[in-house]
Structures are given as structure tokens and as C-alpha cells.
């Protein structure tokens, strides 16, 4: 018996020492704003109350199990009701709940109060990425999409049994983070382009559903500079787990500098909607757009998978007679296929369509110009 106990203890202590290598986080993430701290503290308060109730309730039950047993010779008592007792153990829980409800009520009202915001950002959920648009303040007009930056080679082990090693922020990294200044009340408007998504950053204690066709609002602020990571929190289709949110909080000066830089980049990169493209340029651009947006469903080889049809050899992409249908479909979507007209520019759509119509086995020779796409939007 002593030997067994010693061995068990040794095993447990080894596990305990190994645990420093593992991440066994037990509680909410470290909050970086007032609301987050209040929520953290309220949760701790609730846990203490639960512990107290646990001790009383389970204490009574375990005592009965230990002492009031037939095999210890205990004879059953005869009582079977007591109005007094019932009233007491109805009133006490009600009082406990009132004590919980008071701080909770204050917090709800605080969370809902989006007045007096220093800036407003519109957050749009798409399948499967986020769009951010700065609606006012210095950053007004800054608008970009934010996609998962972890390469597919790291996460997809189904077709490829030897995926690459996972980097530090696996599945929680994006190409363009949402940048905000510290110490400012940021009002967030959420909406969606297709199905319901949900915008959540645990460390900022902000979560709000993004509902297609509707606008909801909430707010957050960040006390200190840093990078805070979150995820979509409402099932939105196959890549629901692959559309993270990264918020980068910068000091006021750094934020201003970022705004300047971003605005310059946006103007530089903006496609001229009237440009007439050559086929080789269009195909090169189209391959980029296709692989960033379309390949996730239709595959890089155009052969599709499961419910997502093949484009290679399809009527809509391979038959010159269906060019207009092709443009219409990409612009407006259908069922699970998003309406790309909402998130991609005329140039990007023209490029992707041109690429699809002239790649793999498709040889239509069609060159779709941004102006054609613009006309089809009417």
C-alpha cells in the first residue's frame, strides 16, 4: 500500500512539473480594459458563491451518505415535509440571486452605452473573413479585408499527411489587423455579408453577432498597447474556425502614423477602374485573386470538391456563350457561394473570371475588363 501511494505521488508530481510546458489556462484571459476587469471580477464573485453553495449542499449530501446508511444500522426517520424549511430554502436562493443581479445589471447598462464614442468602426463578417471600415476620425475612409494568415499547409492535414510545423499564433493571425488607438472609446458597428457571424476578442471583453442586413453596435476600449486575438463565434459554414480577429492597439502617435501609411498604400494599390488590361496581366492578377478567394472551395486546380462544383470543364466557365452568366453568378452569388460583388472590386472580379475562363482545360479566349463587370452590376 505504501509503495503504491509513493508511486502515485511520484507520477503526479512529474505531471505537475511537466505542466509548466503546457498551457492549462483555467480562467478568463487577462482583461485590458475596465469592462473586461469588471466581468472578470463578477465571474470570480459568482464562483465564490457557487463554492459556498457547493460546500453546504454537497456537505449535507455527503454527510447523509456517510452516516445515514442502512449498513451502519441507521434507521430511517419519518419526516416528509416542512413548510418552514421550504420557505427558507426558497427565500435564501432568491436573496443570493438578487446579490448577483445587482452588479450584473450595472454592467449590462455600461456595455450597452455606446454614446460618446471617440471613433466608429464598421465590422462586416463574410464567409470567411472580416471587413473593417473606419467611419470617422483620422482613419475615415480606411477600408480593408482581414483574412487568416496561417498557410493552409500548416493546418490541412487531411489531404497532406505531413503538414508544416505550426507557428506561434497558429489560426490566430491575419494579414491586416484591426488597428485602434489606446485609451479611446471605439464604437463597433457589426453587420455581415452573407450569414450570421460573431465578432469576439476575449481580452477586450467584446462580443457581438454580425447579422446580414442589420447593423448592431457595441463598444470597447483598450488600456495598453498590444496585440489581442479573437475568433468568429457563430457557426458560419466550413471555415468558421478559420476567420480570426486580430486587434492591434497602438499609442496615439503610432496610430496616426499607421493611418497615414495605410491611406497612402490604399491609394497606391487602388485599381484604376477604367484601365484596359492585357490578357497576360489579367491572367496573372486573376490567379492571385482566384487563389486567395475562390480556391478554398473550387480548389487551385479548378476541380472543386463535394458540394462545390468544378470550374475546369464546366459550362459556365468553359463555354463562351455563358460569359454573362458567369459574371452574374460571381457578382451575385447563389446559396453557399458568396456574392463577390460586395467584397471584391471590378478589377479583381474581372481578373478572377478571366483566369477561370482561360485556365486548366478552359480555353474560351475571353478577356473580361473591369468596365464589363461594372456594367453588369447595374
Partner 1 sequence: MTTTTHTPDHAHDDHGHDHAHDHPTGIMRWVTATNHKDIGTLYLWFAFVMFISGGVMALCIRLELFKPGLQFFRPELFNQFTTLHGLIMVFGAIMPAFTGLANWQIPLMVGAPDMAFARMNNWSFWLLPPAALLLMISFVVPGGAAAAGWTLYAPLSTQMGMGMDLTIFAIHIMGISSIMGSINIITTILNMRAPGMTLMRMPMFCWTTLITAYLLIAVMPVLAGAVTMVLTDRHFGTSFFNAAGGGDPILYQHVFWFFGHPEVYIMALPSFGVVSQIIPTFSRKPLFGYHSMVYATSSIAILSFMVWAHHMFVTGLPATAQLFFMYATMIIAVPTGVKVFNWIATMWKGSLSFETPMLFAIGFVSLFTLGGFSGVVLSITPVDVQLHGTYYVVAHFHYVLVAGALFSLFGATYYWLPKWCGNMYDEKMGKFHFWWSMIWFNVTFGPMHFLGLAGMPRRIPDYATQFTEFNQIASIGAFMFGLGQLIFLYNVIRTIRGGVGPAPQRPWEGAHTLEWELPSPAPFHTWEEPPTRELVERLSAEQKLH
Question: In whole angstroms, how close is the CB of 114 to partner 1 at the nearest point?
Answer: 11
For partner 1, which residue of 55, 151, 170, 279 counts as binding (CB under 8 A)?
170
From 135, 145, 149, 211, residue interacting with partner 1 (rule: CB under 8 A)? 211
Number of residues that bind partner 1 (CB under 8 A): 102
CB of 340 to partner 1, least distance (A): 15
Given a contact cutoff of 8 angstroms between Cβ atoms, the answer to whether 205 and 31 are in contact is: yes
8 binds partner 1 (CB under 8 A): no
Of the pair 69, 264, the CB lying nearest partner 1 is at: 69
Residues 172-191 that bind partner 1 (CB under 8 A): 172, 190
Mark residue 289 as left, alpha or beta (left: phi above 0; alpha: psi -120 to 50; beta: remaining): alpha
Contact residue for partner 1 among 32, 33, 111, 134 (CB under 8 A): 111
Contacts to partner 1 from residues 56-85, by CB under 8 A: 57-58, 60-61, 64-65, 68-71, 74-82, 85
Distance, in Å, from the CA atom of 178 to the CA atom of 190, rounded to the nearest integer, reads 14
CA-based torsion, 182, 130, 373, 339: positive or negative: negative
Interface of this chain with partner 1, residues 236 to 265, rule: CB under 8 A: 236-242
Q: Give the chain's radius of gyration (CA, Å).
A: 29
Question: Is residue 26 a contact residue for partner 1 (CB under 8 A)?
Answer: yes
Give the residues across from 245 on adjacent strands. 230
By the rule CB under 8 A, 89 interacts with partner 1: yes
Q: Closer to partner 1 at the Cβ: 83 or 268?
A: 83
Which one, 59 or 141, has the nearer CB to partner 1? 59
Query: Residue 168: which H helix or E strand, with range?
Result: none
Say whether residue 158 binds partner 1 (CB under 8 A): yes
Q: Does 94 bind partner 1 (CB under 8 A)?
A: yes
Exposure string for 153-167, b = 16+ CB within 10 A, e = fewer: eebeeeeeeeeeeee
Extract the C-alpha cell encoding 342.
Answer: 460586395
Any idea which residue has 457589426 for its cell?
A: 190
**Closest distance to partner 1 from the beta carbon of 56 (Å):** 10
Among positions 209, 221, 346, 356, the unique one binding partner 1 when judged by CB under 8 A: 209
- For partner 1, give the closer residue by CB, 164 or 271: 164
Residues of span 125-144 touching partner 1 by CB under 8 A? none
Q: Which of 119, 121, 142, 205 binds partner 1 (CB under 8 A)?
A: 205
C-alpha cell of 126? 463574410
- Which of 7, 166, 275, 377 is close enough to bind partner 1 by CB under 8 A? 166
Give the residue from 105, 123, 109, 118 showing the smallest Cα distance to 217: 123
How many angstroms separate the CA atoms of 69 and 257, rounded? 74
User: Does residue 234 interact with partner 1 by CB under 8 A?
Assistant: yes
324 binds partner 1 (CB under 8 A): no
Q: What three-state secondary structure class fits 197?
A: strand
- Cβ contacts of residue 82 below 8 Å, gap of 6+? none
- Nearest C-alpha neighbor of 109 from the set 180, 35, 59: 35
**Residue 117 found at the interface with partner 1 (CB under 8 A):** no
Q: By three-state DSSP, how is residue 159 classified?
A: coil
Residue placing its CB nearer to partner 1 in the complex, 208 or 330 = 208
Provide the mask over 338-377, with x wherever binding to partner 1 is found by CB under 8 A and - wherever it is not: ----------------------------------------
Transcribe 282-315 into DSSP letters: HHHHHHHHIIIIIHHHH-TTS--BTTBPP-TT-H
Instruction: Please tell me whether residue 304 binds partner 1 under the rule CB under 8 A.
Output: no
Indicate the SS3 state at residue 164. coil
Task: Give the nearer residue to partner 1 in terms of CB position, either 37 or 287.
Answer: 37
Closer CB to partner 1, 217 or 254, in the complex? 217
- Give dist(CA 13, CA 33) in Å, integer: 37
Q: Which stretch binds partner 1 (CB under 8 A): 5-13, 103-111, 256-264, 280-288?
A: 103-111
Report the C-alpha gap between 43 and 164 in whole angstroms.
39
Amino acid at each position: 500500500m505504501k509503495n503504491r501511494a509513493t508511486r502515485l505521488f511520484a507520477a503526479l508530481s512529474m505531471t505537475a512539473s511537466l505542466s509548466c510546458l503546457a498551457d492549462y489556462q483555467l480562467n478568463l484571459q487577462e482583461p485590458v480594459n475596465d469592462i473586461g476587469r469588471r466581468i472578470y471580477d463578477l465571474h470570480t464573485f459568482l464562483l465564490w458563491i457557487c463554492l459556498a453553495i457547493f460546500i453546504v449542499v454537497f456537505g449535507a449530501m455527503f454527510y447523509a451518505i456517510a452516516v445515514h446508511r442502512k449498513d451502519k444500522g441507521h434507521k430511517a426517520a419519518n419526516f416528509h415535509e416542512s413548510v418552514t424549511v421550504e420557505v427558507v430554502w426558497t427565500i435564501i436562493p432568491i436573496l443570493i440571486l438578487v446579490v448577483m443581479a445587482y452588479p450584473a445589471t450595472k454592467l449590462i447598462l455600461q456595455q450597452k452605452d455606446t454614446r460618446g464614442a471617440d471613433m466608429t468602426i464598421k465590422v462586416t463578417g463574410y464567409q470567411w473573413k472580416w471587413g473593417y471600415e473606419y467611419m470617422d476620425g483620422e482613419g475615415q475612409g480606411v477600408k480593408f479585408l482581414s483574412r487568416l494568415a496561417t498557410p493552409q499547409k500548416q493546418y490541412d492535414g487531411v489531404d497532406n499527411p505531413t503538414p508544416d510545423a505550426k507557428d506561434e499564433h497558429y489560426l490566430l493571425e491575419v494579414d491586416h489587423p484591426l488597428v485602434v488607438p489606446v485609451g479611446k472609446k471605439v464604437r463597433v458597428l457589426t453587420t455581415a455579408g452573407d450569414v450570421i457571424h460573431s465578432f469576439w476578442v476575449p481580452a477586450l471583453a467584446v462580443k457581438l453577432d454580425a447579422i446580414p442586413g442589420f447593423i448592431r453596435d457595441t463598444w470597447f476600449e483598450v488600456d495598453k498597447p498590444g496585440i489581442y486575438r479573437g475568433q468568429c463565434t457563430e457557426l458560419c459554414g466550413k471555415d468558421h474556425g478559420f476567420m480570426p480577429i486580430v486587434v492591434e492597439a497602438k499609442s496615439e502617435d503610432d496610430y496616426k502614423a499607421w493611418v497615414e501609411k495605410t491611406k497612402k498604400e490604399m491609394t497606391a494599390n487602388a485599381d484604376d477602374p477604367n484601365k484596359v488590361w492585357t490578357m497576360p496581366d489579367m491572367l496573372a492578377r486573376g490567379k492571385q485573386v482566384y487563389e486567395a478567394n475562390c480556391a478554398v472551395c473550387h480548389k487551385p486546380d479548378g476541380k472543386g470538391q463535394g458540394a462545390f462544383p468544378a470550374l475546369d470543364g464546366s459550362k459556365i466557365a468553359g463555354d463562351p456563350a455563358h460569359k454573362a452568366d458567369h459574371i452574374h453568378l460571381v457578382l451575385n452569388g447563389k446559396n453557399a457561394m458568396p456574392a463577390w460583388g460586395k467584397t471584391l472590386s471590378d478589377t479583381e472580379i474581372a481578373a478572377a473570371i478571366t483566369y477561370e475562363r482561360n485556365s486548366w482545360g478552359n480555353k474560351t479566349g475571353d478577356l473580361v475588363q473591369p468596365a464589363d463587370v461594372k456594367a453588369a452590376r447595374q
